[in-house]
Structure formats: C-alpha cells, structure tokens
Amino acid sequence: MRLLDAASLQFKEFFEDQIPPYAILSHTWGSSDEEVSFQDMRLEPRILWEDRRYGYSKIVNTCRLALEDRLKYVWVDTCCIDKSSSAELTEAINSMFRWYEKAEICYVHLADVTPQMSLEDGLKNCRWITRGWTLQELIAPRECDFFDSKWTYRGRKTKMTDMLAALTRVPALVLEHEKLPREYTVAQRMSWAAKRKTTRSEDLAYCLLGVFGIHMPMIYGEGEMAFHRLQEEIIRRTSDATIFAWDPKDGAADIVGILAPSPASFENTQSLLNTTGFQPTEFALTNKGVKIVHAHVLVCSPPKKKQGLVYFLQLGKDPTGRSCTGIYLRKVDGDLFCRLNRPRETFWQTKGLRRARVFELYLADFCPSPISQSMILDSRRPAVQIPVPSGFEHAQAVPQRLWDYEDSCFLTGPWGADMVQWVQIAGTLLGHKVELAMLCDRRADNGYGKPVLSIFEKHRFIEHWDYLSQYRRTHVGDPLSWWKLKQDFPALLDHTDSTAFSLQGAAVKVSVSVAKGTVRTREGGVEMYQAKMKIDIEKKGQGKDTKQSR
C-alpha cells in the first residue's frame, strides 16, 4: 500500500503486515485537470498550488487533519495510485474497501456543501451522496468525520447514522458496524447503489466489489458487461436467489436475460429477504444459462391478468414472511426457461399457487427477443396440446420436463419420443369429482408423427392409476419408457381413445381425438397437434346429453 507522509508529502510503500495507522479521504473528483495524480506529485508545490489548487488543497487539508489527529500517514485515491499501471489500478480497486475499512479515520469532504447550509439540507443535494465510489467509502470505515467546502467540521458518522441511513438507503446497523453487508441479501445491497452514478459505466460494477466481497480484474471498455461479470462472480459464491429479483425497464423486449443490466434495476428491493426453506441449493454458470437445482417454481394465474397459467420462480419474501416475491418465466424447451419482461410480483396469499416439480432448470441469459421467440415457436411445432373441458384442470403431467403449463402441451422431439407421456385430468361431473389419465404415445416418426392417445378413468382402473402415480413419485428425473411399461405393466397398453364408467346412475363416456390445428401462443400462432376431449353423459330413461370440449 502506498501512503503519503502527512508532514513531508512524500510517498512510502508498505507491505500488508507492516501498514502503519493512517487517515483516508473520501471525496468527489473534479475534472481531470483539477485533480493531482501520482505523477503530478513530483512537481514543485508552488506549481501544484498554481495549476491544480482544487485537487492539491484536498491533499494538503487531509494531511493537516491527520497530523492534528496524530496520524503520520494518509491515503488519497487521486495521488496514491499510479493509474498508468493497469496492474496497480486493478489491485487498488480490489483492495479499496479493505483500505477504507482499516483506516483509523475517514475524512469526508463535501465540496458542494457551503458553511451556510445545514448538513442535512446540504447532503440531500450533495454529489457525494449520489456517486458510486462513495458508497463503500461510507460503509467501510468505522468512523467518518464530515467537512464542508471550507473544511469546517460538520459532524461524525456514528452520531448521525439515522439521517445518513434515510438519505443513502444503507441501514443504520451497517453504518454503525453492528451488522456486516453480507448479512443482507444481494438484492438489498444492490438497492443501496440503485440511484448512484459513475462517470464510466464499468465503475458501476467495480465500485461494488467490496460490498459483495468480490475480486475480479478490471476491463475498461467492456461497458455494461462489467456489471454482468460482477453478478456472475456473486452467483459463484452464494445461493441467494434475490440476485434475480430485479425489475426490467419499461419498453424492453418481451423476453429478457436473467441478469440485470445495472444496479438501477434493484431500486425497489431494499426489503427483499431470502425465502427460508426454499433457497436453491446450487447455482452454476453454464453455456446454456444459469443452472438452479431445486428451484422453487410455482404455476399460477397472474393477478389481474386475463390469461392462463404461467411459471413463477419464487425468489424472496417480505420482512413479515407473509408474502412471496418472484419473477415470471417462459418455458423455452425441456429444462430451459427465460425471463418474461414483467415486474417482480408479490403474492400475499398462496391460494391458486401450485408447486411445479422442476428440480433443475436453466435460466437463459443474453436473450435477443427474436431469437428466443423463434426458439419457442420451433419447440412447439412437434408438440401436442392437451386442453381440457370447462370445469376440468391438469392435475399432473409427466414427465414435467416435457410439459408446458402455459400452452398445455407436451414438448416432444427425438429426445422424448420413447418416453411415456401422461397427464392426470381432474374435474367435476354431476356434482362428483372425476379423475382421468391420458397417455400420449409419440413414437411415430421419432416424435414428429401423429401422437396416439389413450384414456382411462381412475376408479375403474385403480391399479393402472396407482402404477403411474407410484412411478412418478419414486422415479423423479427417470422417465418411464414404453419398453419398461410393456415389461412392468402391459395392461396399460390396452387402453384406447375412449373410456366408459358409471356416475350417479348415468353412463359416462369420455373419448379423445387428435388433429393438427393452429394454437395461439404468447409468441404468435403455431401449428401443432391438438387433442380434443368429448364427454357423453346418458341418463337412464332420458335422452342423451352431450358436452364437447371447446
């Protein structure tokens, strides 16, 4: 660490275990020709006073205050880093939080707060409150003394934490060092920086390294990719799902990547807590997207929306624990999902929410909308949609990896052709609950041919129903093949496209057919196979009452 001797204004370098007590400066930079660099410090003081009075006066006053506090050394970011060395700059940025943390005292110079202003009024409109780099300079030091534009002492951090917390969104407990930043969720910490700005877009990421305990190389010129890299590093070190709980910009494409473009996307997440008990056990970065194992995925109807079911990834909860917060997903294919451009949603009650058995999923990033929409449409072309009549719903669908709740279809290609696909359908007829199982055979043309459908009623074929249900529970992630079904339970192969049973003295016949038709999806119309259920109910001594699916 390179320190400046407060008396002689000469530099001296120290190894980590030999660093003496020092003071440190927090300030906002002026223009480049006003600040004093490492190279400028070789000039005569007279020249510095004449050419760079603004920047040099900050160094001189910092040294003066340090000597008054009986500290021999100071650190000032403008001159103590040789910015011509990319290696030194990278080391300094990665060490900066620690350097501020270990300082005996931090002097905060508020250049735009005049002596006539109250400190609170001055801070409200002060640049220092709005800059990205000053966030860690506020949090890391144990103590900060504030000075106005004339270097008049205005107050101490630990004496005004409530005011600073209200102005900066950083909790008072963090400012008082009663709690560490890492005790807050990723989304909460991001919210502290949501309204802050930096001159270079890359610095929006680099100024947060210490807040998240991350070390990574600096690559100026990468733009917003720096913040993307920061999130990737956070994902490698935590299973905190709130990192995905950001709000997309209005007007963005219908499909967005899973990672946020900037801290501004976390502006409204300051109260978002982890969902205890449902926290994903594993994150991994892959070339397919962000992999989450044991993700808590729900299937629901969005509030105030006139649409069917959608996927909802639960990410957090509010401080009361009575609500769940998350984001809406769109199934692309198999275990690949993408994020819909919808704000975070909070559900205050769980009625209507259903757990989807998604044990492993991939969340796509870098989703240019046309590419992702075309991928989704392509995956629907060989699919078979299984809508249900009014009063019925899909209770289960197996394999879940191939089933899409939003479009009510099995997504099948060559990879799923040999799998037994079945859906359990539940509803009410004549005032009584009815449960049906529909099997879908996609072996024709290796998953692209016309599906063969068969159907049976639960209570008439209870052993058949129990076999499928038991297999689903005990073979998670191990789909049932038609070959194995033939070996284990060949009677299931005898079902046809209709089933008959008695209900309340009436004869009920449910039949199913399949044909190609145009299905309206979120991305547009696409031709796929569609199943149609027909229910005939004949009561004794009466005519025939027929209900047909819509």
d(CA 296, CA 293): 9
Position with higher pLDDT, 318 vs 42: 42
Mean of per-residue pLDDT scores for the chain: 90
Q: What is the mean pLDDT of residues 313-329?
A: 81
Give me the pLDDT at residue 307, please.
63
Give me the pLDDT at residue 314, please.
87
Antiparallel, parallel or unpaired: β 384-385 and 524-539? parallel
Q: Is the pLDDT of residue 401 over 60?
A: yes
Give me the pLDDT at residue 21, please.
98
Task: Please report, for residues 93, 197, 237, the alpha-carbon distance to residue 133 in angstroms, rounded to integers and kept in the order given.
Answer: 10, 9, 23
Strands (E), 138-253: 144-147, 153-156
Indicate the burial class of 462 (C-beta count within 10 angstroms; 0-12, 13-18, 19 or more): exposed
Prediction pTM value: 0.88
Q: What is the pLDDT of residues 211-270, one digit of tens each?
A: 999 999 999 999 999 999 999 999 999 889 999 999 998 776 788 999 999 999 999 999
What is the dihedral sign for C-alpha 399, 401, 407, 411?
Answer: negative
Q: What is the pLDDT of residues 69-93, one digit of tens each?
A: 999 999 999 999 999 999 999 999 9
Both tokens of 462, joined, read 């209870």
Q: Is the pLDDT of residue 160 over 90?
A: yes
Give me the pLDDT at residue 454, please.
97
d(CA 151, CA 147): 5
Q: What is the pLDDT of residues 519-535, one digit of tens each?
A: 999 999 999 999 999 99
Position with higher pLDDT, 354 vs 524: 524
Q: Is the pLDDT of residue 549 over 60?
A: no
Give me the pLDDT at residue 250, please.
79
Q: Is the pLDDT of residue 36 over 70?
A: yes
Comparing CA positions, the residue from 348, 289, 341, 277 lying closest to residue 310 is 341
Q: What is the mean pLDDT of residues 382-393?
A: 92
Position with higher pLDDT, 412 vs 12: 12
Give me the pLDDT at residue 483, please.
95
- With pLDDT > 90 as the criterion, what percentage of the chain qualifies? 69
Give me the pLDDT at residue 5, please.
96
Q: What is the mean pLDDT of residues 540-550?
A: 51
Give me the pLDDT at residue 350, please.
57
Asked if the peptide bond before residue 280 counts as cis, ω within 30 degrees of 0, the response is no
